[in-house]
Structures are given as C-alpha cells and as structure tokens.
Chains A and B, each alone.
With several copies, the nearest count.
Chain A
Amino acid sequence: MTDCTLVIAGSAGEGIQTIGNVLADALSAHGYAVFTWQEYESRVRGGQNTYTIRVREDPCNAPTWEADILLCLNKGAYEKSSGRLKDGGILLAEEPYGDGTLVVPFKAMAKEKLGRVIYANTIAVGALAGVLGMERDALEDVLGREFAAKGPEVLKANLEAARLGYDAADAACRDVCPWSFPKRAGSYYLVAGNEALPMGAVRAGCRFIAAYPMTPSTGVITFLAKRSEELGIFCEQAEDEIAAVNMALGASFAGARAMTTTSGGGFALMVEGISLSGMTEVPVVIVLAQRPGPATGLPTRTAQGDLLFAVHAGHGEFPKAVLAPADPKDAFHKMVRAFNLADRFQIPVIVMSDQFLADSRFSIEDFEIDRSGPESFLADPADFEIYKRYAVTEDGVSPRLVPGESRHLVAADSDEHDEWGHITEDLAETVPAMVEKRLRKAEHLRRAMEPPEAYRVDDAREIFCSWGSSRGAVREAVDLLREEGAPVGMLHWTELWPLAAVTFPEGARLWTVENNATAQLASLLRMGLGVTIDRWILRSDGLPLTARFIRRAYHERA
C-alpha cells in the first residue's frame, strides 16, 4: 500500500504553502487520500517552516514526521529539516545541499525560461509531481482552477512552469524514484479543520459571528466573513474578545444562532461572558482553538493544554458542554451538535480545536451531512397567555422566546432573578429554585452526552485514552502496535463535559495520550468518573502527536 510523505521546507514568504496546497490539491484530484499538516513560526517572513503531505490510497488522516521526499527551498531549511529524511529518501533542492541532492534550479529556471522568479514555486510543484510520477493532466487541471482568475497569461506561464519542473525531475529521477501515482478512482473532500468548523456552523444555521483575530482560530471567521452576504451570516470583527462574546450573546438573545472563536488568551477574556451565558441562559457556541501557553506561548504551534480550564471556565456554578472534534468531518457535525445542545439546554457550548486540527487538511470520503442537522428549540409565542422567561420547569429548561417577535416580553438577567427575570433577594424560595433549575439542566445534559469512541478495545489489555484532534495518530499507533503484537486499544473522547458514563474494560491498564504536559484528560476522568490512569504519553513541544511518537513512548514506558 502506498504511504508516501513529502515535506516542503522553507521560510515564511517563500511559497511553501502555495506549493503544498497546489500539490495536495493535485494529488487529491488524482484520486488519492491526502493528509497535510503544517508547522510554522510566528512571523510573516523568514524563519523555517514546513508543510507535510502524506499520500495514500485509503485515508489515514494522521501526521507523519519522517519524509520520503524533502524539498528544501533554502539552506536553512535543509539544516533544520534534513534529519526528517528517511534513509533512501529523495532530497530536492535548488542547489546540492547534501550527497545525492536531486537538484532542480527552480529560481534559475524561472528567471531564465519564464523571465520571472515568481514562477519558481510552480516549477517546484511540477518537480514534485515529477518525482512522484503523477500524471501531468491532473496537475494541469488544478493549476487551471488555481490561476484561471489571474488571466490566461498567468495561467499559461504557470502551466509552462509546471511542465518545466516536471520534466526536469522526471528526467533526473526516473531511475531513483520508486513512486508512481497514476490517476485513480478515489474522490475525497480535502478539508482543514478551519474550513469544516465554519461549514458546520453554516449547516447549524449560525447567523452571527463576532470574533477578534487570534491564531489559530482566525480562519473560522475569515471563512464566514468571505461569504457573509452570500450565506446571510452577520460577521463582525470585535474590538476585543470580551466584546466578541458579549455581541454573540446579544445576537443570540435576539434569536440568531451565534458564535465566537478565539484561542487561549482570548478565551480567558471571554470567561466572564461564559458565566453570563450560564446565568442568563442565553445559548452561545465558542470555538476555542488551542495553542501552547501559558500566556502568548507559541502562537502558531499546537497543544491540548486548555481542557481543564475550559471545563471549569466561569465563576459560579452552571451547566456547560465541552466538545472536542477528532477531525474535520467530526468538526462539521460537532458544530451542529454544539448549536443544538446550546439551544436545547440554553447554555454555553465550547468546541475545542487546536492549531493541528485548524490547519491540517484531511481527506474525507463523505461528510454524511444528513447524520446531523439543525433543530429548533424556540417556543411558540402563541402557546403562552403569560410568558415568563425563566419559568421553573421539571427539566430546568424554560421555554424560550425572542424579543420583538411577539407581544411577549423577553428578559435576560445576569443577577439572580425570579421567573420574570427581575432581580431577586428572596433567599428562602426564589434563589434555591433558580439554582436548582439551572443545575437540573446539567443532569439532563449529562444524559445527552456521548461516550468515547472505542477502537480495538475488546481484547485490549492496554487502553489509550485520548481526546480531540489526536484520534488519527492514536488510532494509527494502535494499529502499528497491534502489528507488533501489543494488545492495545483506544478510547477516544470527543465529548468531554459533562462526561457520559463509561464502563472501562476490566483488567485493562489505562494510558492517557495527550498533547500537553500535565495529563489533563487523566485528571478529568479521575474527577468525573473516578477512574485512575496508570501511565501517560504526553507531548508538549508544540508539535502534534504522531503514531510513531506514541509507539516509541509506549515502548519506553510499557
């Protein structure tokens, strides 16, 4: 089975993202299951970044580190990334950096043959396609799509550039390169987390988003802002995160499904607003895209370091839900679920993403968009003679109307209040009634939560507990270890709070596998389910978990 990893290494501004995206698109158009992930520095030009592409026939949406093919756009890139090249792998570069470099002088060729250095990137794309033994025409289709808008001149030059690169590489490596990627029948969506999350929001009927830019969350609002008028979604760049969450609450109060997005520091600023959502029972969805902290930390890197913070975010006591999608398909559906849960229980729902999920492109066979859909939980004004926004009910959920849509008056109050929403100081009756009403919702919410996904646990004696975006890596690790005879399985949580009841297989040893330094899922499971985790596999250097990382750590600690 084909499983080939390409790494494109270079500085910000040198075009590795363009190269990577076009090549990934082309491979996808060829019918392959492509997975890409990126690691980059927090700067606009310079530094050393990489774009990794994994190509297979069937999807394995998990990151790999070791490269079969490494394209270095400069000497520094080589110095940083050459260690990733597998024995026998192909190094492609402008100049000969090491022994056996496959030299394709992209820039020189661009200048010489096409008159402008700008075409060097497309030459590189062509060269990689040549190394991979792709068919030219799929590449040309993709280039057509990519450059059509820029006019026939530009398109023509790019097609020519690709051809130049292709031929140069093809000629140079026909003997050395084992790969061949002929067109095949596969057809996958190639989608990043930051594309699937907003598409899920659209599907959920989101009508309002306010956010303040913060890596790696910004892509979500950028996606929607681009299509705001087409989709009828009001998009606002807020002056700060406090404004963002409060705007979303205002819009939600007025009946719009509303959300915001941010990362750790911005989320910290929203915490008072989360508590406000809890008290006013105004639903809101918050996408928390994690990056390593504390404070500013590593703004462009990945982590799962905010789990316990998210679960406990907000002063006072109120129900909230925390979800953490495993991949873009899951993210799409989790967004629908987030809006539905938020509306059904009138609570804040936090959807935890991270830089890895946000920026990586996954191959999805089918989004199965019917698997979930938006549900309306608004009450009908005609059903009420007298309407009380905070009516005490059996399940704690009060019928919700929106202001202005009928003659009924609708309140939201951040103070402790009576059924009408007016400030109360009645400690004897009203206060306990309201405290209990809100907490009754927590119990119903808990029953609505999904248990973890089980993978090869039935006969497992070692179980990896994991959550969120690492599912692909953990699952692949399980497969690798199983091949070696290790009796491992996986329990993977994507619904983290409140925790659904789980029965752990008896006698199995529990491991936690997390992209953080303090084993937060382990703490959460101990707190929420009373279960004790024996071992941990943790990574907190800003890079995503990979199957091989997990396998190595397993062997070290088993």
Chain B
Amino acid sequence: MNVPDPFKNDVEIQWCPGCPNFGILTALKGAFRDLRLEPHQVCLVSGIGQAAKLPHYLRCNFFNGLHGRALPVALGIHAANPALTTVVTTGEGDCYGEGGNHLLHALRRNPDITVVVHNNEIYALTKGQGSPTTPVGEVRSLQVHGVEAAPLNMPAVAVLHDAAFVARGFAGDPDHLKDLLAEAVRCPGLSLVEVIQPCITWVRRPVSWYKERLWPVPPGYDPGDKDAALRVLAGDDGRFVTGILYRGPKRPLFGERFRRETGDEPLVRRGFPPKSSISALLDNFRMGE
C-alpha cells in the first residue's frame, strides 16, 4: 500500500538530472518520516547555491535566505520557536566560505539544530570555481593552474569545539544518509552532517572514484573519543571518513537558560507586555516622587 509522502511537493526541481542532491533530498524526507515529523513542525533554512535550493523541494516551512547566512537565520528561528525542527541545508561554499564565521560561532553556542552541508568541493551554481574544500592542485575556472590554498576541515573544527554530533555521509547512499540525518536531528545540540555530493556537471569524476575513497569508520569506533575523531578527520587525506564521527559531551544549549527562566513557549505566543510593566520600567527614571 502506498502512503503519500507528506513531505513531497510538486515544485519543478532545478538541479541537473542525476545530480546527487536528489539523494540528499530523498534521505532528508526519509529521515523526517522516520522521526514521525509533520511538515508544519519542520523548518528548513538555507542560503544560496545548488544545495541551498533544497528547501523548495520538500513540503515544509522554509526560509531561503542570503548566500552564507543560513545559520544566523536558523538561530533566530530556533530562539523564537524551539519547538520547530530546524534544519539548515547548505553547500560548503555557503557554509564554510561566505558563511564560515557563522559556523565557528554556532559551534560555540550549541543550538539544537542540524546543519547538512552538501560538499561537492566546488561552487556549482556559479559554474565551477574552487570552493573551501576543493583539493589542492585541482584546476578550476578561477584557479587555472590548480587550487593553491589548502581545504578547510570543518568537521574537525566541529569536533575540536565539542559539537554535539558530527557525521559524514554520501549522497550516493541515501539509506545510510537517512539514518545519519535522523540521528542528527534526534541529538540535542548542534549536529553537523557533511555529505559528499559529487557534482556531475563541473567535477565529473565517476562515482567509482568516490566509492573507492569512502572510508566508513571501523566497527567498534567510539564516537565519544575526541582524540580518535580528530585523528580520523585530520588524517584522512584524500579519503572521506563516513559514519557517526563524533558525539560531544553534554553542553548547555543555545537559549537553554532563557527558556528555563522564562518558559518554553514560542516567543510569538507571549503577546504584548502589560502597560503596567512599562510604567514600572519608566518609573526607574523618575528621581522625584
């Protein structure tokens, strides 16, 4: 029996036919279903890029904002309504390039959101410039003699800063990815899921090239071991370690104290303050009686 997918919409998808972004879309829908979420309980947030178009292709609330700025928008949404499942879908250019500073500081804050980085090692939407993860030596439209700058290793930076959950998946394996994403959403605190997403238009490596380099964490790998996580991430040269790489220690969540002191309800439900409270505030500024 076919149950209709509540997350399916009928917007025309602007990705290239065969783009692995479709696999991520499938995985994300699956994860939401597995989590028994309903569309109105989910809010996707993105910037600009191929990856960042994803929110249009999944039936739910969404905020498709500026290039690089998905994270602060997501933080604002989460602060205002922590009951929403807030998921950022972003490219590595969006998230590690233009928006690098926001990721650094989101790691500090530990908001209970999930960040899915479609890493295709390229600026795809703008037609193939090097991105913050393009391997050294690769020839790109603005790096005609090969990329000189070394790639960023943001999953390792996340581990270094005790992110709640760090994982890596492969767009070509949506089933595995679905489980990673569901687990990421379940985990309280900031979850970073990097997804290897081969661009078939500008990168054009055969899928086999990726498959050979995928390197699932070995059985018995302990995601609670920070040193081990740093080692696999820092020492993966050329390979893509995949799986649940790290689960950080319990840390205070973004806004946790505010909610403990003032309550959990979304800010929009708190209404306008009574006039008496304004008068009381103003009275602090009257010296006489």
Q: Do A and B interact?
A: yes
A552 to B61, CA, bound (A): 43
Q: Is the CB of A228 within 8 A of B144?
A: yes
Q: Is the CB of B62 within 8 A of A239?
A: no
Q: Is the CB of B66 within 8 A of A414?
A: yes
Output the least CB separation between A49 and chain B (Å): 13
A206 to B78, CA, bound (A): 16
| In the complex, chain B residues whose CB is within 8 Å of the CB of A412 | 62-65
A221 to B289, CA, bound (A): 28
Query: Is B272 interfacial (CB 8 A cutoff)?
Result: yes
Q: Is the CB of B142 within 8 A of A222?
A: yes
Q: How many residues of A contact B (CB 8 A)?
A: 98
Tell me which of A45, A187, A410 contacts B288 (CB under 8 A).
A187
A-facing mask of B239-262, CB < 8 A → 1, else 0? 000000000000000010010011
Query: Is A457 interfacial (CB 8 A cutoff)?
Result: no
For window 199-249 of chain A, which residues contact chain B by CB distance below 8 Å? 199, 202-205, 207-208, 210, 212-215, 218, 221-222, 225-229, 231-232, 234-240, 242-244, 246-249
Q: Is the CB of B272 within 8 A of A234?
A: no
Most buried by B among A187, A404, A421: A404
Specify the chain B residue showing the minimal Cβ separation from A13.
Answer: B16
Query: Is B281 interfacial (CB 8 A cutoff)?
Result: yes
A30 to B287, CA, bound (A): 8
Specify the chain A residue showing the minimal Cβ separation from B288.
Answer: A187
A409 to B11, CA, bound (A): 15
Query: Is A432 interfacial (CB 8 A cutoff)?
Result: no
Interface-forming stretch among A53-61, A129-137, A250-258, A542-550? A250-258
| In the complex, chain A residues whose CB is within 8 Å of the CB of B202 | 44
Q: Is the CB of A240 within 8 A of B101?
A: yes
A249 to B258, CA, bound (A): 19
Q: How many residues of B contact A (CB 8 A)?
A: 85
A248 to B41, CA, bound (A): 21
Q: Tally A-B pairs: CB < 8 A.
A: 281
A-facing mask of B56-69, CB < 8 A → 1, else 0? 10011111111111
Q: Is the CB of B98 within 8 A of A255?
A: no
Q: Is the CB of B40 within 8 A of A243?
A: no
Q: Is the CB of A29 within 8 A of B272?
A: no
Q: Is the CB of A276 within 8 A of B142?
A: no
- Looking at chain A's contact residues, the main secondary structure is mixed
Output the least CB separation between A74 and chain B (Å): 14
Q: Is the CB of A190 within 8 A of B80?
A: no
- Known contacts A46-B16, A225-B142, A369-B275; is-contact A232 B73 (Cβ 8 Å): no
Tell me which of A30, A239, A409 contacts B61 (CB under 8 A).
A409
For window 89-103 of chain B, which residues contact chain A by CB distance below 8 Å? 97-98, 100-102
Output the least CB separation between A357 and chain B (Å): 15
A252 to B104, CA, bound (A): 23
Query: Is A273 interfacial (CB 8 A cutoff)?
Result: yes
Q: Is the CB of A202 within 8 A of B258?
A: no
Specify the chain B residue showing the minimal Cβ separation from A296.
Answer: B48
Query: Is A172 interfacial (CB 8 A cutoff)?
Result: no
Query: Is A422 interfacial (CB 8 A cutoff)?
Result: yes
Output the least CB separation between B91 and chain A (Å): 12
- Known contacts A187-B286, A243-B102, A403-B61; is-contact A202 B281 (Cβ 8 Å): yes
Query: Is A413 interfacial (CB 8 A cutoff)?
Result: yes
A376 to B124, CA, bound (A): 40
Q: Is the CB of B61 within 8 A of A231?
A: no
| In the complex, chain A residues whose CB is within 8 Å of the CB of B124 | 44
Q: Is the CB of A239 within 8 A of B102?
A: yes
Query: Is A309 interfacial (CB 8 A cutoff)?
Result: no
| In the complex, chain B residues whose CB is within 8 Å of the CB of A374 | 272
Tell me which of B14, B40, B266, B285 contacts A406 (CB under 8 A).
B40
Q: Is the CB of B287 within 8 A of A190?
A: yes
Query: Is A461 interfacial (CB 8 A cutoff)?
Result: no
| In the complex, chain B residues whose CB is within 8 Å of the CB of A409 | 39-40, 59-61
Q: Is the CB of B282 within 8 A of A199?
A: yes
| In the complex, chain A residues whose CB is within 8 Å of the CB of B282 | 189, 191, 199, 367, 369
Tell me which of A13, A42, A188, A212 contacts B125 (CB under 8 A).
A42
Query: Is B220 interfacial (CB 8 A cutoff)?
Result: no
| In the complex, chain A residues whose CB is within 8 Å of the CB of B218 | none
- Known contacts A43-B14, A247-B75, A273-B66; is-contact A29 B287 (Cβ 8 Å): yes
Q: Is the CB of B80 within 8 A of A236?
A: no
| In the complex, chain A residues whose CB is within 8 Å of the CB of B288 | 28-31, 186-188
A247 to B71, CA, bound (A): 8
Query: Is B45 interfacial (CB 8 A cutoff)?
Result: yes
Query: Is B176 interfacial (CB 8 A cutoff)?
Result: no
Q: Is the CB of B144 within 8 A of A226?
A: yes
For window 144-199 of chain A, which residues contact chain B by CB distance below 8 Å? 186-191, 195, 199
Q: Is the CB of B285 within 8 A of A195?
A: yes
- Known contacts A188-B288, A250-B80, A422-B56; is-contact A369 B72 (Cβ 8 Å): no
Q: A191-B282, A238-B72, A254-B76 are in contact. List 4 more A-B contacts (CB 8 A).
A: A13-B201, A222-B142, A252-B80, A258-B80
The 3 closest A-B pairs by CB, nearest first: A250-B76, A255-B268, A403-B61
Q: Would you mind naming 10 contact pairs between A and B with Cβ atoms under 8 Å apart?
A: A25-B287, A232-B270, A246-B66, A246-B69, A249-B65, A273-B69, A403-B61, A404-B43, A414-B64, A423-B53
